[in-house]
Amino acid sequence: MSRKQERIRRKLEQDPAAQCNRIRQKYCPELFQDFSGTKDPRHPGYTKYSSRTMLGTVFYKGIAGITSMQSMTYEFNRESVTENLYRFLGEKKKEFLPHAVTINEYLERLDPEELQRIQQKQVYGLIRSKAFYEARYRKKWLVIVDGTQLYSGGRKLNDRCLECRSKKGTEKETINYHCDVLEAKIVLGEDLVVSIGSEFIENNGEDAERQKGMSEEERKQDCETKAFKRLARKLKKAFPRLPVILLADSLYASEPVMDLCRENGWEYIIRYKKGSIPSIMEEYERIPEKGKAGHAEFVNEIDYNGNPVNVLRFWEERIEKGKPVRREFQWLTCIRVTEKNAERMAGEGRKRWKIENEGFNRQKNWQGDITHACSWDANAMKNHYLLTQMADMVKQLYEIYFLKKNGIEKRQKNISSDLLESFGRHLTREEDIFGNEERENSFL
């Protein structure tokens, strides 16, 4: 970056927190009001901090990319930061923000469905704004589904942890405990992928009660495919009329998933790998005349247990280490493939990787770390994760609609640190803190 560009950047971004707040106010104007509207699980006579302050503090922890609750307490203990965060939230100033222990005790008792509803309300607002319509394909929204691990280790954090045994039945048998989540993210742009629903993969109370007295061999743990059924019901209930094209990896190339999509009125483009459904690919290979378009070939209406399935194959050729390399990709879809749409559909199908890059990789390595256990309690872990999703949604909007729009180039690791630094700056203008609607409801 030249000295001139650096001077322009500094002039544009004197207060990153103020710019981020403006973006939040524009795209998620009711977020903090919704925090206030959650059902408080605490006794009203023993509450010092409001739900808005509790949840808002963790939200800004995510904005600042702070990994641990202990670090949050330390960083937010500066008087200037405390004052500004109360002003950002539109709350009456107190001497301190809530301590990490106080917040975790609150999150242990808060129903995660309260936060899930808030999260989905914010996403619904983005969908209704029409600002992201260009991200649709066939006038439908691409929703990517995939699972990721939030914790893995030899310590059993709580009774809902899943177990993985290695060298079973031997003296060297070990148990690895892990906490997983099945995530659904909606594509709102090339660089904008936000959470629209989360389903935690866990040994819930119902499973534990049913499995009492069973041997290890008889017990069946929760898994991605079971969680998908619950997640699909949740998404359909929250967004009953949302036109969806489901993108998923080869794990979901199965009859139950296709049936669920048909029941919900969803279309799908599911990655196919060898061995997923052998009968479909055997039929595909037997058909001599296949449709072709550029680097794509396809066959429509292959029968699979009485229902038609279309197969799309796409290849690309690259030079890697001085040698030509050919890579092939295959999908199963209910969308009819033609010469006109084959290559475009392959491009949309490959967007499944966005949940890894703009989703999990970002939240694990660039903008905090969702694998850090901010609490050992299962309920609190869920609430921490959901608040991280809301904070990351606002940060993505800030990066696209302020940083990128103004030509401000930053390394990912510097975005969060610059925001945290700006929390402690003295802000005097009300518009730097919240918009007109929130100002009317403020204690200031």
Please report how many Cα atoms fall inside a 13 Å half-sphere around the Cα of residue 441, on the Cβ side: 14
Residue pair 145/182 in contact (Cβ under 8 Å)? The answer is yes
d(CA 175, CA 161): 11
pTM for this prediction: 0.89
Whether 96 is covered by a domain: the verdict is yes
Place of tokens 């072709």: 292
Q: pLDDT for 234-254, tens place per residue?
A: 999 999 999 999 999 999 999
- Hey, what amino acid is at 90? G
Q: What is the pLDDT of residue 59?
A: 98
Residue 391 scores a pLDDT above 70: yes
68 in a domain, yes or no? yes
Q: What is the pLDDT of residues 400-410, one digit of tens each?
A: 999 999 888 88
Expressed as residue numbers, the domain containing 105 is: 1-37+40-110+376-444
Question: What are 93-124's pLDDT values in tens digits?
Answer: 999 999 999 999 999 999 999 999 999 999 99
Q: Is residue 160 part of a domain?
A: no
For residue 140, tell me if it sits in a domain: no
Contact present, 31 and 414 (Cβ < 8 Å): no
Q: Residues near 212 by Cβ (< 8 Å), separated by ≥ 6? A: none
CA angle 239, 240, 246 (to 5 degrees): 70
Q: Tell me the Cα Rg of the chain.
A: 24
Of the candidates 119, 113, 81, the one whose C-alpha atom is nearest the C-alpha of residue 97 is: 81
Per residue in 329-358, pLDDT (tens digit) is 999 999 999 999 999 999 999 999 888 877
Residues 6+ apart with CB under 8 A from 180: 147, 148, 149, 150, 162, 200, 201, 202, 224
Counted domains in the chain: 1
Rounded distance between C-alpha atoms, residue 126 and residue 140, angstroms: 15
Residue 231 within a domain: no
For residue 439, tell me if it sits in a domain: yes
CA distance 355 to 286: 34
304, pLDDT greater than 60: yes
* 17, part of any domain: yes
Does 62 fall in a domain? Answer: yes
C-alpha distances in Å from residue 42, one per residue of 148, 171, 433: 32, 47, 29
Check if the beta carbon of residue 288 is closer than 8 Å to that of residue 336: no
